[in-house]
């Protein structure tokens, strides 16, 4: 059952990225272009997501177990370390250069866009390198 | 600063769907969605590999299903050079794993949990993204 659910959640997430146009790098770069011509849409995407996910998380986090799995798996790391900051800086530069982050990049494979496919292959290489460094 | 191309209704609608996906995944599967985590774990870890794979397949099916339902074409344009695509892709991949999260993992799931780590990560990558766009716009 949780297999079907994983697929379904991916589909809902992907459709959300398409409807909100976050799949389009120009829309993301428009949000980051705050000092010139600013497109605030990305902030509304985050607000829309958070008003659903925040109350649901806090309502269910203390339940015994999720419906189709044996236990909840919630990140426990609370340390504000160098990796968090350096990683976020790397991500911010890459994000600002093209306007793609992991979700929209992978979703855009559906559009058979050569540029985004190159980005995705390089991103997975980055995942692999980070797994060796960590 | 001028406000341009602002699409609050579709942004909020898409955002609600993303939030629904995160909420459902948590209630039913017990995990908080982070796309960089799901994608890199699919690559390097045997744990939950089929679930992670199916989630990624779902993401890619999203645009097809949207197109089927709405009949609307989805167009994106990326005009960056090959070297820039490779550099930026590697930085996004490496950076999100070093900091254990991206726009979804820190920006949505982490902030939902009121995680200080995620709030600081989100502020950092947004400020750096804004700075990057500012600099590339001047160059």
The interface predicted TM-score of the complex, written ipTM, equals 0.97
* Residues A23 and A15: beta-carbon distance below 8 Å: no
pLDDT value at residue A109: 96
Mean pLDDT over the full length of chain B: 96
CA angle A40, A9, B124 (to 5 degrees): 40
Residues above pLDDT 90, as percent of chain A = 87
pLDDT value at residue A34: 96
Q: Which of B34, B103, B37, B88 is nearest to A118 (CA)?
A: B88
Q: A86: pLDDT confidence band, cut at 50, 70 and 90?
A: very high
Residue A57 to residue A53: CA distance in whole angstroms: 6
Tell me which residue in A51, A113, A121 faces B76 most closely, judged by beta carbons.
A113
Residue A43 to residue B128: CA distance in whole angstroms: 16
Q: What is the pTM of this model?
A: 0.97
- List chain A residues with CB under 8 Å of B130: 32-35, 96
- Mean pLDDT along residues B28-46: 96
- Chain B closest CA to A124's CA: distance in Å? 6
B46-50 long-range contacts, CB within 8 A, separation 24+: B50/A3, B50/A6
User: Residue B124: how many CB atoms within 10 A of its CB?
Assistant: 20
Chain A residue whose CA is closest to B122:
A88
Dihedral pair phi/psi, residue B3, rounded to 5°: -90, 125
Instruction: Answer yes or no: is pLDDT of A126 > 80.
Output: yes
Instruction: Answer yes or no: is pLDDT of B14 > 80.
Output: yes
For the ranges A48-62, A68-82, B26-40, the lowest mean pLDDT is seen at A68-82
């Amino acid at each position: 059952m949780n297999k079907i659910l994983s697929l379904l959640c991916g589909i809902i997430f992907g459709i959300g990225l398409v409807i909100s146009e976050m799949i389009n790098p120009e829309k993301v770069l428009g949000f980051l272009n705050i000092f010139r011509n600013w497109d605030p849409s990305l902030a509304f995407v985050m607000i829309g997501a958070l008003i659903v996910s925040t109350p649901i998380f806090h309502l269910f986090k203390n339940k015994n177990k999720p419906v189709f799995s044996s236990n909840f798996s919630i990140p426990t790391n609370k340390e504000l370390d160098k990796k968090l900051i350096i990683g976020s800086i790397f991500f911010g530069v890459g994000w600002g250069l093209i306007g793609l982050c992991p979700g929209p990049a992978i979703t855009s494979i559906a559009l058979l866009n050569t540029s985004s496919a190159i980005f995705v292959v390089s991103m997975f290489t980055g995942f692999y390198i980070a797994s060796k460094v960590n | 600063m001028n406000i341009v191309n602002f699409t609050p209704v579709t942004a909020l609608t898409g955002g609600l769907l993303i939030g629904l996906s995160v909420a459902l995944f948590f209630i039913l599967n017990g995990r908080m969605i982070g796309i960089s985590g799901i994608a890199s774990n699919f690559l390097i870890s045997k744990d939950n590999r089929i679930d992670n794979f199916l989630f990624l397949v779902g993401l890619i099916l999203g645009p097809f299903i949207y197109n089927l339902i709405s009949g609307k074409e989805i167009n994106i344009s990326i005009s960056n050079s090959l070297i820039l695509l490779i550099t930026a892709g590697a930085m996004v991949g490496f950076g999100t794993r070093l900091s254990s999260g991206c726009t979804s993992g820190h920006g949505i799931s982490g902030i939902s949990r009121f995680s200080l780590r995620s709030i600081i990560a989100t502020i950092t990558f947004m400020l750096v993204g804004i700075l990057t766009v500012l600099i590339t716009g001047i160059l």
